[in-house]
Chains A and B, each alone.
Chain A
Amino acid sequence: MSHVVTLEAVTKKYGELVALDNVSLGFPQGRFVAVMGPSGSGKSTLIQCAAALDQPTSGSVTIGGVDVGSLNETKRTILRREHVGFVFQSYNLLPAITVEENLTLSLRLAGKRPDRAWIGELVERVGLQDRLRHRPAELSGGQQQRAAIVRALAGRPDVVFADEPTGALDLRSAAQVLDLLRGLVDDLGQTVVMVTHDPAAAARAHDALVMADGKVVDVLAEPSAEDLAARLTQLARGGLAVHAVGGVR
């Protein structure tokens, strides 16, 4: 199975603090991967580096076969908008423009003509057909996050990174968003990497990476919420039992 994004010995330091400690892994195509771990374990840093939003201190990140480290900021931005979609905890919809304009914003910035049929299909899938002309502020949190997911997918990226996409949502909306993400992977073969600290959310993924202290300490395939919860509790108590380090093979 080919890897959409590969990390090779990636270390990220913020001053003295080591957020990522020599991590090597690849994200396989067409899989829904959850990244879990306690606060400060480095999971957000991991996907920010993997999505080329941030530069690692050392090591290399390859997206679509291109080494990100060799690019300047502008080229990196262009690479990112070609290959990567991003979903944020705080939605990041621009309040000044309509929902519809938000959906095509990344494409517009890339100077690409949006694929209307594709976007229409996505909009129908998330059920926002009659909210397109509204401003983001007029939508509920769940609707905003669903719009953000359509935006992330609008350019048919190789991979979608989602950073705590359900963190600001109520249970029902969160469940809808998770169903949506899982459906995208199962029906459309989309690659999705999601950071979450919620075992129930992670349980919807194909694989779960568990992180602690800047390292990937565990990889669970088809995890159950109970297993994940137990694992996290264990980590929180400090009882580190490193099962496997490396990646999802």
Chain B
Amino acid sequence: MSGLGGLVVAFFAVFGGMALITGTGVIIESGLRSNISGQRLVHADVLVSAPQSLAQEGDLPVALPERAVVPSELAGELARLDGVASATGDVTFPATPLGDQKGDAAGAGHGWASAALAGGKLVSGRAPRAADEVVVPKGLAVRQGTSVEIVAGGRRGEYQVTGVVNAPDLYFADSTAAELAGRTGGPRADTVDLIALRAAPGTDPATLAEAVQREVGERYEVRTGPAKGDAESPGTAAARGMLIALPSSISGISMLIVGFVVGGGISLSITRQRRDLALLRAAGATPRQVRKLVGVQGMTAAVAALLPGAAAGYYLAAHFGDLLIHLGLLPQELPLTYSPIPAAAAALVLLGVVRLSAWAASISASKMPAVAAVRDAQSEPRQPSAVRFNSGLLIILAAMGLSTMPLFLRGEVAILGPSLGGLLSVIGLALAGPKLVQKATGLLVRMLPARVSPPLWLAVSNTHGYALRTAGAVAALGMVITLGTSNALTHTTVMRATADETARTLRADAVITAPAYGGIPRDLLGEVRALPGVTSAVTASTTTVIGRGLALGDGAESAMARSAMVLGPEARGLVDLGVTKGSLADLKGPSIAIDERSGAVGEHRDLVLGDGAKVRARVVATYSRALGLGPVVLARDLVAGHTTTDLDSTVFVRTADPSALNKLDKRWPALSVASAATSPQAGETSAQLWINIAVLAVLLGYVLVSVANRLVATTAARGTELTAIRRLGATPGQIRSMIRWEALLIALTASVAGLLMSAVPLMFLSIGFLGRPWPAGPLWLAPAAVAVVCAVVGLAYDLPARRLVRRSERVA
């Protein structure tokens, strides 16, 4: 019975661990090899495009989210290859009817030549030929022969509808498309997004792809089948990197927790069997045989948990994927990949953990002399070791030291200090816990007045006497509180600091965006500036830049991709970055402004832009407010021609009369005007907050269930002890009251310890980021976490204790 309780605990620990690791594995595998669904060019056999990733030495390649282009003459070269029936250059640009609904997603436009590749056939009318002609999809409420206003490539124009096609998107004459996509001049003159090949009859697409790859060499990527989606939408493909980055940021915590819980569960199930094992030893079993038996038992519980755990893992991953899509972090077109590999890997990891912890836990039980084994099994309270205590204290001290980082460094990297600090201090607490509990409860025992109620006195004495047992529960529950509060509040505090600084940086009264048009139309800025009351208006956009040492704490070796704001020299009046040297007015040509702590004016920096272009930029300004807009700002001239749409994303407006902006609505129905300026990173940060909360909720739920399991098992195993106390004259009520006091003591100790462990790092973080000692965000999280812990402990103690008390009434 007692052994069974332990095995149940082990089963649940492995079940949860399996679910967590499998789920994480699914996400990672999807990041490595999921295919984009819903391809557009379904009738193309082979797609040739420029590489959309940057190879890095010793690290995963960085995905490039902005479209890298291909020279259009390559189409002619490829058309001459054997087995190629046709080679078509394809471009995509934002194109949306002016009066379209306000929405997030812009429509797309292409040249007519691509229509056939997309499976588009004319339902009626004819192909577009003149510059002002367009073919519209069937679903659009525009009739053939009428004219329609379209915002395409940021230009507004009136087009004649010459036909209706049975494919999505708008189709223009090929030369018009090239112009609207910005391919008739400037840095992207005479290029296309990709070249679509059709294989001649009888030619296998795979064979053709090999031939094409030999022809173009390493410069271009050749894709067939499901992989073609990557060439069509590099932005979507780049989201895959997030799928890998996300789990790797949480895998530290989750592996720690899985190890903690599984190891704890296994060792508990073995401690439960100490007596049986001792008797086995006395009956002549060798230490080896005992270890083997223990191993086999632990393995049985673990193996039984593997399959259901894996199923739960796939289920969790699917829900996590839905959450990512819902938050806009994962494009709908990038479904998760499900294969048995994550489950197999998780099973291997867990069986390893189980074996190791079974071996470690059984070593003392199996090695001691048989007689000592029997005696030791009876005298449960053991003395916590001094080495363990001291190393735990050292770790806690180190953790507290780490968490002072935000006092000296104000930047993204400083968050690492407190979060690592919280994590470390949890480990320290687990180590130092027994002795700490012993000292604290010892003090409590001495301080308790003599006339205190006997159950309370007994409860305090028990937590004191069974310090190891108590500390195990306290450490695990304290971990729940520490990780829960510190993780969430760290994020909200940094978010608040970012928002505050953004508000100080962007002196705008209104912010205009036009996601439905794919970006800010080119004429809009002039119209805004002409409005009454407007004193200044500047455009901005965000893109990705890859470089070394751009932000505080970046390693000098590996290049980091980060999102950066793109501004022009006129931004000076509206954007106050706290410039310390140089001037934003010099943000012309190939130039950048950076965080004052990571560079100096006059330096030259080698950068890679979002489409993979290698550029060299001069630092023309350094600034102090790096938190709001990020550690690097790029000149518009530097980025021109290196983004997918080549359009700005935002207009910041300074105006005496914000209501006048509503006049824009009539001319541009799909614009959105907001009053508050948010950082380009704000959306990402809040999405990350939700991800963190979701992941943390799952992890902490796992910890709580496993702690509850362990508490139930340890309480249920206290039958002999409770019967003994009953025989010494405790009434059933006194026993119940004692158990309740114990539960309360443990829950409160865990709460105090957990809150302390998170309060100290949060205090340093808040001082560093907000200039005050308390964090921003939902402070009710702390009492809520305490309440949850109290409820779980209360139930885990009360339920088995009730049964024991009832039983002890019968056999007392």
Residues on A facing B (Cβ under 8 Å) = 53-54, 73-74, 77-78, 80-81, 86, 88, 92, 94-97, 101, 105-106, 108-111, 135-137, 151
Contact B725 A94 (CB under 8 A): yes
Interface SS, A side: helix
- Residue B202 at the chain A interface, CB threshold 8 Å: no
**Interface majority SS (helix, strand, loop, mixed), chain B:** helix
* A77 close to B379 (CB less than 8 A): no
Residues of chain A with a CB closer than 8 A to B728's CB? 81, 86, 92, 105-106, 109, 151
* Pairwise interchain contact A96-B466, C-beta atoms closer than 8 A: yes
| B465 and A77 contact, CB distance less than 8 A | no
- Interface of B with A (CB < 8 Å)? 379-381, 454, 457, 461-462, 464-466, 721, 724-734, 809, 811-812
Query: What are 30 A-B residue pairs whose CB atoms fall within 8 Å in the complex?
Result: A73-B731, A73-B809, A74-B732, A77-B726, A77-B729, A77-B730, A77-B731, A81-B728, A88-B727, A94-B465, A94-B721, A95-B379, A95-B380, A95-B381, A96-B381, A96-B461, A96-B464, A96-B466, A97-B461, A105-B725, A106-B728, A108-B454, A108-B457, A109-B725, A109-B728, A109-B729, A109-B731, A109-B734, A111-B454, A136-B379
Q: Which 3 A-B pairs have the closest CB atoms?
A: A96-B465, A81-B729, A137-B379
Q: Are A86 and B727 in contact (CB under 8 A)?
A: yes
Closest-by-CB residue of A relative to B734 is: A109
* Cross-chain contact A137 with B381 (CB below 8 angstroms): yes
Which chain B residues lie closer than 8 Å to A80 at the CB level? 729
Whether A78 touches B731, Cβ cut-off 8 Å, given contacts A73-B809, A108-B454, is yes
Q: Which A residues are CB-close (under 8 A) to B812?
A: 53-54, 73
* Residues of the B chain whose Cβ atoms lie less than 8 Å from the Cβ of A54: 811-812
**Could you tell me the distance in whole angstroms from the C-beta of B459 to the nearest C-beta in chain A?**
10
CB distance from A131 to the nearest CB of B (A): 15
* CB of A133 to closest CB in B, whole Å: 13
CA distance A97 to B734 in the complex (A): 17
Which of A80, A105, A106, A136 has the largest count of B CB atoms less than 10 A from its CB? A105
Q: Chain B's nearest CB lies how many Å from the CB of A89?
A: 12
User: Which residues of the partner chain A approach B809 to less than 8 Å between Cβ atoms?
Assistant: 73
Contacts A96-B461, A137-B379 known; list 18 others, CB within 8 Å: A54-B812, A74-B731, A77-B726, A77-B729, A77-B730, A77-B731, A80-B729, A92-B724, A92-B727, A94-B465, A94-B725, A96-B466, A101-B461, A105-B725, A108-B457, A109-B731, A110-B729, A135-B465
How far does the alpha carbon of A136 sit from the alpha carbon of B466 in the complex, in Å? 13
| A74 contact set on B, CB distance < 8 A | 731-733
Closest to B375 in A: A137
Report chain B residues within 8 Å CB of A137: 379, 381
Q: Shortest distance in angstroms between A137's beta carbon and chain B's nearest beta carbon? A: 4
Tell me the bound Cα distance from A111 to B811 in angstroms: 24
Minimal Cβ-Cβ distance residue in B for A135: B381
Give Cα distance in the complex from A19 to B721, angstroms. 26
Known: A88-B727, A96-B464. A109 touches B454 (CB 8 A): yes
> Closest chain A residue to B812 by CB distance?
A53
Alpha-carbon distance between A105 and B727 when the two chains are bound, in angstroms: 11
A residues less than 8 Å from B464 (CB atoms): 96
> In whole Å, how far is B606's beta carbon from the nearest beta carbon of chain A?
67
Q: Which residues of B contact A73 (CB under 8 A)?
A: 731-732, 809, 812
In this complex, the member of A95, A106, A151 whose beta carbon has the largest number of chain B beta carbons within 10 angstroms is A95
Q: Which of A88, A101, A106 contacts B729 (CB 8 A)?
A: A106
Query: Which B-chain residue is minimally distant from A53 (CB atoms)?
Result: B812
Nearest Cβ on chain A to B471's Cβ, whole angstroms:
14
Instruction: Give the Cβ gap from B714 to chain A, nearest Cβ, in Å.
Output: 13
- For A78, the chain B residues whose CB sits under 8 A away are 731
Report the separation of the CA atoms of residues A105 and B462 in the bound assembly, to the nearest whole angstrom. Answer: 13
Shortest C-beta distance, B577 to chain A (Å), equals: 63
> Which residues from B are CB-within-8-Å of A109?
454, 725, 728-731, 734
For B725, the chain A residues whose CB sits under 8 A away are 94, 105, 109
Kindly list chain A residues whose C-beta atoms are within 8 Å of the C-beta of B726.
77
Q: Which residue of the partner chain B has the closest CB to A138?
A: B379
Residues of B within 8 A of A110 (CB): 729
Measured CB to CB, the closest approach of chain B to A135, in angstroms, equals 7
Task: Kindly state the separation between the CA atoms of A73 and B809 in the bound complex, as whole angstroms.
Answer: 7
Which residues of A lie under 8 Å from residue B727 when comparing CB positions? 53, 86, 88, 92
Q: Tell which of B380, B728, B809 has the most Cβ of chain A within 10 Å.
A: B728
Closest Cβ neighbor of B455 among chain A residues: A109
Residues of chain A within 8 A (CB-CB) of B732 are 73-74, 77
> Which residues of chain B have C-beta atoms less than 8 A from A77's C-beta?
726, 729-732
Which residue of A is nearest B732, CB measured? A73
| Bound form: Cα–Cα A97–B458 in Å | 9
- Collect the chain A residues with CB atoms within 8 Å of residue B724's CB: 92, 94
Closest CB of chain B to A3's CB: distance in Å? 22
CB distance from A69 to the nearest CB of B (A): 15
A95:B465 contact, CB within 8 angstroms:
yes
CB-CB < 8 A to A135: which residues of B? Answer: 381, 465
**Cα distance A97–B729 in the bound complex, in angstroms:** 16
- Residues in chain B near residue A96, CB distance under 8 A: 381, 461-462, 464-466
B177 to chain A, nearest CB (A): 82
Nearest residue in B to A96 (C-beta to C-beta)?
B465
A155 CB to nearest B CB, Å: 8
Closest residue of chain B to A48, judged by CB?
B812
B467 and chain A: residue at smallest CB distance: A96
Complex CA–CA separation, A100 to B454 (angstroms): 15
- Bound-state CA distance A109–B729 (Å) is 7
Expressed in whole angstroms, the Cα–Cα distance for A130 and B563 within the complex equals 73
Chain A residue at minimal CB-CB distance from B725? A94
Asked whether, in the complex, the Cβ of B454 is within 8 Å of the Cβ of A97, the reply is no
CB distance from A156 to the nearest CB of B (A): 14
Taking the closest CB of chain B, its distance from the CB of A150, in whole angstroms, is 13
A residues less than 8 Å from B733 (CB atoms): 74
Residues of chain B lying within 8 A (CB to CB) of residue A88: 727
Complex interface: chain B residues within 8 A of A86 (CB): 727-728
Q: Within 8 Å CB of A92, what residues of B?
A: 724, 727-728
Docked Cα-Cα span, A74 to B808, in Å, equals: 12
Chain B residues with CB under 8 A of A81: 728-729
Give the chain B neighbours of A106 by CB distance below 8 A.
Answer: 728-729
Residue of B nearest to A102 (CB): B728
Minimum distance in angstroms from B54 CB to a CB of chain A: 63
A137 to B731, CA, bound (A): 26
**Please, which residues of chain A bring their CB within 8 A of the CB of B730?**
77, 109
Q: How far is the CB of A114 from chain B (nearest CB, A)?
A: 10
CA distance A151 to B727 in the complex (A): 12
- Among residues of B, the one whose C-beta sits closest to the C-beta of A54 is B812
CB distance from A184 to the nearest CB of B (A): 19
Nearest chain B CB to A224's CB is how many angstroms away?
33
Shortest distance in angstroms between A215's beta carbon and chain B's nearest beta carbon? 23
- State the CA gap A68–B728 with chains docked (Å): 17
A119 to chain B, nearest CB (A): 15
CA distance A63 to B728 in the complex (A): 17
Question: Of residues A54, A78, A94, which shows the largest number of chain B Cβ atoms within 10 Å of its Cβ?
Answer: A94
Least CB distance, B732 to chain A, in whole angstroms: 6
**B residues near A111, Cβ cutoff 8 Å:** 454
Bound CA–CA A7/B726 (angstroms): 23
Residue among A77, A95, A151 facing the most chain B CB atoms (10 A cut-off): A77
Q: In whole angstroms, how far apart are the Cα atoms of A92 and B725 in the complex?
A: 8
Complex CA distance for A142 and B727, rounded to whole angstroms:
21
A73–B806 Cα distance when bound, in Å, is: 11
**Interfacial chain B residues near A97, Cβ < 8 Å:** 461, 465
A110 to B462, CA, bound (A): 18
Q: Name the residue of chain A whose CB is nearest to the CB of B730.
A: A109
- In the bound complex, CA of A109 to CA of B457 (Å): 10
Distance, CA A95 to CA B377, complexed state (A): 12
Shortest CB–CB separation between residue B239 and chain A, in angstroms?
A: 57
Q: Given the complex, which residues of B lie within 8 Å of A105, measured CB to CB?
A: 725, 728
Q: Bound state CA distance, A95 and B462, in angstroms? A: 9
Q: How far is the CB of B198 from chain A (nearest CB, A)?
A: 82
B454 cross-chain contacts in A, Cβ below 8 A: 108-109, 111
Please give, as numbers and ranges, the residues of chain A lying within 8 Å of B731 by CB-CB distance. Answer: 73-74, 77-78, 109
Q: With the chains together, A95 CA to B734 CA distance in Å?
A: 19
